[in-house]
Structure 1
Amino acid sequence: MQIFRSIFLTMLLMPFAVMPAEETAENDVTACGFSPQAIALAKLIQQDPLQQRASIQCHPLLAQAADDKARVMAEVGMVMHNVGGSPNSRLREIGFPLPRYYSGVMGNQVEAIAGGYTTPDSVWRAFKGSKSHRQHLLGELDFYREQQFIGVGFYSDRHAPHVEYWVVYVTKAADNLPVPDFEFIPDKGIFVVQQVKPEINLSSPQ
């Protein structure tokens, strides 16, 4: 797995460009994440029978961002969107060109996070049990349905409060097309209340 990380880190140093479909294909599972858990969760999202998108392509820059965010959340012991900056601004800062109509420094139209879920199946069930996350990850709204790139991060530290930390980025890249005529533009925001059940060390997805 360290070899995969080295390869992708080298790729990320190259000038950013959205890769064509054949280079970020869904079956190129190594581009979705740097761990078996992250790759498994990405596949669950891509292949869910209720997935509304025609396709979701793995993107190594999003995978790197998700992996880094999962590690940071474990280090600070919190499951929060605004750790290290808001999700939208964070992707822009690392060079992923979000569409201009995505929210600015306080926005989150790209990130789902969770802590305390041991397996990809369990965290995916939790995400689907949350209306805002189900809408985002399954593309149930027009705004989300056009998001075609995914990257997933997972980090485990038995000394951290939640032990397991999960991060999913699903987003669209900027293009020169007119702004789509959405019924409305959702924003999950970054200010969330962390819900923890100490007896089972579990937090709800955010």
Structure 2
Amino acid sequence: MRPIFKALIFNATLITTSIYANEYNTQCASDKYSQHLVDLIISDHEQQRTKLRCDKRLVTAAIEKVAEMAETEFVFHGRANGRLRDQGVELPIYYGIGNANQVEALAGGQKSPKVVWKSFKESTSHADHLLARNAFYRKQTLIGAAHIYLPSTSHGHYWVVYITEEDNASEKNIFHGPIPNKTSHGVFHQSQNEKKPIN
């Protein structure tokens, strides 16, 4: 890991333990702004899930991702599923490998949780995931988010939300209809008949 990247992660973690202490749930978010975004997602009247539970592992992964985006000044998907697996989240086998993404929503430049939530809702692929408008996402009940503000960078504000499920041993080989894979180039679907992870 490059020194700048380590410093960004350290600074993001430092913010969560000092300036915003006791103003947010560390199991849900990295700061009060990402906590507000989580609250907006959970409480939205269009939310199709009956419950969402905060998970610290998702927050840790999100902190790493916002730091990476701030360092590169580029908002991009890459190894989204892998990043959660690195934190010990046991994703179902039908969640892809490589650059596959059934778990991550990113944004850059929006200055407030309300603005970033509005932009997520205006994006079909993000709204389908975050609000579980696509049936595939309705089993995802774990959430975690992070935000970082670095005014010297091109976007300033960087946002990450992870929503996922963990593996259920009785459902390892069951595909739930076409599996969406969100990329920077759009959403692609894996056929229900393909019995292998998305590459």
Work out whether residues 5 and 34 of structure 1, in 8 Å CA contact, stay in contact via their aligned partners in 2: no
TM-score with structure 2 setting the length: 0.79
CA distance in 1, matches of 2:185, 2:152: 23
Q: Does 1:145 align with 2:141?
A: no
RMSD: 2.0
Compared CA separation, residues 181 and 138, structure 1 to 2 (3 A): same
Q: 1:136 aligns with which of 129, 143, 148?
A: 129
Matches within 5 A, 1:95-134: 95-134=88-127
Shift of 1:106: 2.2
Q: Equivalents in 1 of 2:103, 2:181: separation in Å?
A: 9
Q: How does 1:9-20 map to 2 (within 5 A)?
A: none
Deviation at 1:192, TM superposition (A): 4.0
Q: TM-score, normalised by structure 1?
A: 0.76
Structure 1 regions of 5+ residues with no counterpart?
7-27, 194-206
- 1:30 to partner: Cα distance: 3.0
Q: Structure 2, unaligned stretches of length 5 or more? A: 1-12, 19-23, 187-199
Shift of 1:180: 4.5
The within-5 A match list for 1:1-206 is 2=14, 5=17, 29-82=25-78, 86-178=79-171, 179-180=173-174, 182-189=176-183, 191-192=184-185
Q: Distance in 2 between matches of 1:142 and 1:31?
A: 26
Once the two structures are aligned, what percentage of the paired residues are identical?
A: 39
What secondary structure does 2:181 align onto? coil
Query: Corresponding residue for 1:198?
Result: none
Deviations 1:27-70 (A, max 9, x none): x8331112000110001001100000000000011011111211
- SS of 1:150's equivalent in the other structure is strand
Contact 1:98 1:172 in 2 (8 A): yes
Runs of 4+ in 1 over 3 A off after TM superposition: 1-6
SS of the residue aligned with 1:186?
strand
The 3 A distance-change label for structure 1 pair 50 and 158 is same
- The number of residue pairs the alignment matches comes to 168
Q: Over residues 57-104 of structure 1, what are the superposed CA-to-partner deviations in whole Å (9 max), with x where a residue is unaligned?
A: 00011011111211110011110112xxx1011211222111111011
SS at match of 1:117: coil
Quick one: distance in 1 between partners of 2:166 and 2:85? 10
Q: Counterpart in 1 of 2:8?
A: none
d(CA) in 1 for partners of 2:105, 2:158 = 11
Output the amino acid matched with 1:94: Q
